[in-house]
Amino acid sequence: MESLHELLRDPLYWIGAVTVAWLLLCTLCFLFNGIRVWIVGNGNLVRASRLGKWAVVTGATDGIGKAYAEELARRGFAIVLISRTQEKLDEVSKAIESKFNVETKTISADFGCTDIYPKIESGLAGLEIGVLVNNVGVSYSYPEFFLSVPNIDSFINDMININITSVCQMTRLVLPRMVDRSKGVILNIASASGMYPVPLLALYSSSKAFVDFFSRGLDTEYKSKGIIIQSVLPFYVTTKLSKIRRATIDIPTPERYVKAQLSTVGLQTQSNGYLPHAIMGWVTTALLPTKVLTKYVTKVCLSQRARYLKKQKQG
């Protein structure tokens, strides 16, 4: 009994007890939040009946953008498709109207240019917009050292205009009417590459980090006004941008990814969107030391660069 009293008087005992209790509480909160996001989900939030008639999707004719357009149409939204090529816009528009029996509207715009926004603003005039998906994006053709990127001047301009300026300008056009109605969702598609620096993809990684920070800042600014602004950070998905064709459990199809991601809206300000991607995001940012991660990513990018250059030299 006396030894117990002595133990209870020992400061190290209470430091250890508090530490164990804190770790247990954090673990329980982590598990509870995981169940709430990835098992229960929030799939009924993103629907036209709750947010408004129209959903606007940029980069809407391929990959993740097309998958968002189709899934949002399935949920009852009329769809505004914005992309560069009118022929592809018409093709996707007809397919969506036929399959989901919703109204569509197309706006052709090259997001590499900065004079397109008056045209887009005119095309969106008068629409009750419930969802904006800022999806349009561009990456490197292959990993490369910054000063060795081909046509670097135009590359810099395109990367900034498409990956950064488009998000800011489209948000500027759509957000005011959402604020007026006190409801709306903006999904800004960043990338897991924006969660940490990626050497040899430095400009792409940095542009996606901007999208992430911009989204989280705006969500805090406008949450009280009824607006949800979410940063979406996918790892690899089977798209033209990733150049991966075969889906696996950790590399989903765009359709599978989008369906999972939409269930996280309203539950996470910053989301990897898909459970295997969330696990990968946790491992790479919370468990791995930054130096180890950077060294590994650099090694992968150098290997990809070498394969690409070898292929170009041979063919």
Catalytic residues: 204
Residue 81: beta bridge partners?
Answer: 57, 106
Sign of CA dihedral 106, 108, 110, 113: negative
Count the Cβ atoms, other than its own, within 10 Å of residue 304: 17
Considering only CA atoms, which of 185, 230, 188 is closest in space to residue 207? 188
The Cα 104–Cα 106 span in angstroms is 7
Quickly tell me which residue has 């149409």 as its tokens: 73
> Taking the CA of residue 176 as centre, how many other CA atoms within 13 Å lie in the half-sphere pointing to its CB?
9
Secondary structure element (H or E) that encloses residue 129, with its range: strand 129-134
Instruction: Name the DSSP class of 201.
Output: S
CA–CA separation, 217 and 167 (whole Å): 13
Copy the structure tokens of residue 75: 């949920």
Q: Are 237 and 252 in contact (CB under 8 A)?
A: yes
- Diameter over CA atoms, the chain: 85
Sign of CA dihedral 276, 278, 281, 287: negative
Amino acid making up residue 122: S
Q: Which residues of 76-104 are buried (b: 16+ CB within 10 A; e: fewer)?
A: bbbbbbbbbeeebbeebbeebeeebebeb
Pair of tokens at residue 261: 């991601």
User: Angle between the 254-262 and 63-74 helix axes, to the nearest 10 degrees?
Assistant: 50
* 3-state DSSP percent of the chain in helix, strand and coil, to 5: 60, 10, 30
